[in-house]
Amino acid sequence: MRISEEQSTSIENRDMSTFAAWVLEVGNAHVPMNSIEIYTDFPSKLHEDSYLKQRAILAQRNDDVDRINLQMLDMLPGEIKTYFSADSATTDRTEPCATQFIPTPEYLHSLNFPRIASHCLQLKVGVPITLLRNINPSVGLCNGTRLIVLGLERRTIRASIITGTNKGEIHCIPRIIMSPSTNKWAFILKRRQFPLKLAFAMTINKSQGQTLSKVGIFLPKPVFTRGQLYVALSRATSRAGVKILLSKKEHTRNGYTRNIVFKEVFQAL
C-alpha cells in the first residue's frame, strides 16, 4: 500500500515490487539482514524542505532513541534552548494515609515515560519534532505528527507541519499537563511541559503510519516483539532506502539478527 502511492517509471515499479516481496519474506523469517548507516551529508542538507521529512532512525527502546536524538542535536549548528517541566504529584486516596508517599520535585523530574515529554526538553531552531499528544486534530496536530521548529518562544514553540494533508501549516504549540496512562506508584505524576520530542530518531512503535524514503534501523539487540522488524522495514518505499546497524556483541553472527515470527498463530486459520 505504501509503495503503490508512488508515481514511478516501469523500472522503479519493478524495484518497488521486488522490495514489497522482500519485506514480506522478512515478515515470514526467510531473509538475512546486513548492516549500514543513515543521515548522509548532515548538516549541509538539513535546511532542504524534503531532507528531514523523508528520513528517520528507528530503534526499539526509548533510551536508544533519546541518545541518538541528542547526538544529532549536537551536530546541528545553533544555540540549544532548554525547557524544564513543572512537575507535581497527587496521592491515591484509596491508600491508607500512613502508606502514602509524597515524592520530592527532584524525584519527579527524574521520571521518564514513553508517551510523556521529558523534564528537560532541549531544542534548536530547524530540528524535527514529533507531537506526543492530540492537541487539535482538525488542523493536523495529532499524536505522531512531525514538525520542524521555526521559533523557540518563552511560552510557545512555533513549528511547521512537514507531513500529511496539513503540510506547511504553521502552529504555536503550548505547554500542557500530561500524566502517564499506567501507574505503579501510590501517586499520580502531573507534568506541565511541551508535548514534544526530537524526531531525528523514534521508536519502531511510534513510527507506525509514517512513510519515509530513508530509514535507518538501529538494533543494538535483536527485536523482542513479534512483527517489530517487519514494521520498521515497511516504513520505507524502497529496499535501497533501508539501512540497518547491528551490534556485533549482541547478535549471534556477524551481519545477522533474530526475527521473531509466531507462525503457529496462523496454522489454525
Residue 155's pLDDT is: 92
- Quick check: bond before 43 cis, omega within 30? yes
C-alpha cell at 227: 512483527
CA distance 232 to 245: 13
Per residue in 238-263, pLDDT tens? Answer: 778 888 888 766 555 667 787 877 77
CA distance 156 to 33: 43
C-alpha cell at 123: 531544542
CA nearest neighbour of 233 among 257, 253, 264: 257
75 vs 177, more confident = 177
C-alpha cell at 6: 508512488
Q: Is a pLDDT exceeding 50 seen at residue 146?
A: yes
Residue 98's pLDDT is: 44
Out of 4-8, 116-120, 191-195, which region has the weakest mean confidence (pLDDT)? Answer: 4-8
Residue 34's pLDDT is: 44
**Is residue 194 classed as helix, strand or coil in its secondary structure?**
coil
Residue 43's pLDDT is: 67
Domain borders along the chain are 3-44+204-267, 64-199
Per residue in 113-132, pLDDT tens? Answer: 878 899 999 999 989 999 99
**Is residue 2 classed as helix, strand or coil in its secondary structure?**
coil
121 vs 18, more confident = 121
CA distance 18 to 237: 11
Out of 63-77, 106-120, 126-140, 245-259, which region has the weakest mean confidence (pLDDT)? Answer: 245-259
- Answer whether 55's CB lies under 8 Å from 214's CB: yes
164 vs 87, more confident = 87
Residue 233's pLDDT is: 86
CA nearest neighbour of 215 among 21, 22, 37, 8: 37
* pTM metric for this prediction: 0.74
